[in-house]
């Protein structure tokens, strides 16, 4: 899987949000998308997912590529349990006991059969991460996935993500420079108007 970005420009109200002159993302690599609030991180991810269009430039993605995503909003089925939310998107059948063990790696066991609506924000983020990692995809895109997580929990979740990538491309946006060292990822820096990698 490969993504080629060329001369990509996005503006709002005639103010340039970002300009990516050239960028290549490929399977097996981890990319950390950095930049201050308002620099266009979410917009760039939405363009890659086909949810928004750029004003100029091209994005070429290998035909047949499928993405899973963690958005800033969790987009979970609130009346379903974490177990049920993950089962809906799984790429391979997994027994209940095996799936409980999987979720238990990043979530407390006592919350796994409760409705998601009763969980804290940080727990919901972890359900969204687990769902994205267990779904069938060629690449994973995560927009600020660690909101509401303390440092120790975040490190646990990052370890889980890296173990479950299985050769897929990961693009994750973050404000935290320490996340780069945790992920050992390549940096894409959006600086408001231009981007560097």
| Coil/strand/helix, residue 99 | helix
pTM of the complete model: 0.91
pLDDT at position 194 is 57
Angle, CA of 16, 22 and 23, to the nearest 5°: 105
Tell me phi and psi for residue 31, to 5 degrees. -125, 130
- Kindly report, residue by residue over 104-154, the tens digit of the pLDDT: 999 999 999 999 999 999 999 999 999 999 998 999 999 999 988 999 999
Distance CA 185, CA 54 (A): 25
β-pairing verdict for 139-143 and 67-70? parallel
**Over residues 91-98, mean pLDDT:** 81
Q: Domain ranges in the chain?
A: 2-196
Superfamily of domain 2-196: P-loop containing nucleotide triphosphate hydrolases (3.40.50.300)
Distance CA 117, CA 99 (A): 20
Instruction: Residue 1: name the closest of 33, 25, 31, 30 by CA.
Output: 25
How many other CB atoms are found less than 10 A from the CB of residue 94? 15
């Amino acid at each position: 899987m490969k993504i080629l970005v060329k001369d990509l420009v996005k503006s709002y109200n005639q103010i340039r949000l970002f300009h990516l002159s050239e960028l290549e993302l490929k399977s097996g690599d981890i990319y950390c998308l950095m930049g201050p609030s308002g620099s266009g991180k979410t917009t760039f991810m939405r363009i890659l997912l086909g949810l928004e269009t750029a004003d100029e430039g091209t994005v070429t993605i290998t035909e047949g590529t499928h993405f899973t995503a963690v958005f800033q909003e969790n987009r979970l089925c609130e009346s379903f349990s974490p177990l049920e939310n993950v089962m809906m998107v799984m790429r391979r059948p997994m027994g209940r006991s095996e799936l409980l063990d999987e979720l238990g790696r990043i979530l407390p066991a006592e919350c796994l059969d409760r409705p998601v609506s009763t969980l804290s924000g940080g727990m919901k983020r972890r359900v969204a991460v687990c769902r994205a990692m267990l779904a069938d995809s060629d690449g994973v895109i995560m927009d600020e996935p660690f909101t509401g997580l303390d440092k120790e929990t975040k490190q646990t979740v990052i370890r889980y993500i890296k173990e479950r990538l299985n050769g897929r491309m990961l693009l994750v946006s973050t404000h935290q420079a320490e996340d780069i060292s945790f992920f050992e990822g390549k940096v894409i820096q959006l600086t408001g108007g231009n981007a560097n990698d």
